[in-house]
Amino acid sequence: MKTILQKLIGFIVNITGLFFPKLAARMALFLFTKPLKGKPNEKQSDFLETAFIEELKFNNMPIMTYRWLGEKQTILLVHGWESNSARWQVLITNLKKKGYGVVALDAPAHGRSGSNRFNAIMYSEFIKVVSDRFQPSIIIGHSVGGMASALFQHTYKKEHIQKMIFLGAPSEFSDVIKRYTDMMSYSKRVSKKIDLVIKDRFGKLPEAYSTANFLEHNTSQGLIIHDKTDRIIPYNDALLIKTKYKNSTLITTEGFGHSLATDEVSNYIYDFIDN
């Protein structure tokens, strides 16, 4: 059913692109930046209510943050697409037991944060606001949360960030866009126009947004964890990031998929932040 719907949407966008290519590209980008899920359910909300909840702002958009106090340094958790801060529940529980302070934020258009659209650039600005408020020493980013974290640190070079952990993070935004256009079967005409609309909107083509390049001169200690069976973000992205991020270690898993929500992965994280 999902494939049929994707093909139908792709057909409609392609037909529109024959006559109004810029409109078709905007339609395609709207779908790409509009999450269909990510709001916390009742069980997730119950967990989030155990935190100190604080609403921050970026350009009058609310950024919802959740804080659990600890006597050790603060760790900032940055979730991925169509998720929310509650995805970290097990990790948060164990980090609290270890004495770490933990802060999680909801991404734009996710959880309880503002905006009805999402992009990694806006997300990086959300991270900047949260970083200024809570001064974390460690950032853990999952999926596009990892890309946004890399962009944030590349842009602002915060000295208090000592360690960065990337879980299933994409490297090249141009590859992310290509996977999306291929999945939706958009025509070459529409795909090329998407790139130009991105340049008009953000000032740069998709090729300019690269997690690997963002981390090339990053001096903080890094840990990259990626699964060989990840169907969302290919394992090769981790290799690209590792090539540029010199002060990092790559851990390869197999069979955990994109979420990497396993005890084994959590243990790798604990070992890294404890040492």
Is CATH 3.40.640.10 correct for 39-172+209-274? no
Q: What is the pLDDT of residues 113-126, one digit of tens each?
A: 999 999 999 999 99
Residue 254 in 3-state DSSP? coil
| Predicted local confidence at residue 5, as pLDDT | 85
Percentage above 90 pLDDT, the chain: 97
Q: Strand runs (DSSP E) across the chain, as ranges? A: 52-58, 61-68, 74-78, 101-105, 138-142, 163-167, 221-227, 248-253
pTM: 0.96
Backbone CA torsion sign across 69, 166, 121, 44: negative
In the chain, ranges of CATH 3.40.50.1820 domains:
39-172+209-274
With bands split at pLDDT 50, 70 and 90, how would you rate the model's confidence at 210?
very high
| CA 264 – CA 91 distance, rounded (Å) | 12
For residues 66-76, give the mean pLDDT: 97
| Predicted local confidence at residue 57, as pLDDT | 98
Q: What is the pLDDT of residues 83-103, one digit of tens each?
A: 999 999 999 999 999 999 999
Task: Pick the closest to residue 185 from 1, 54, 5, 11 (CA basis).
Answer: 11
b/e code 220-248 from CB counts within 10 Å (16+ = b): bbbbbbbbeebebbbeebbebbbebbeeb
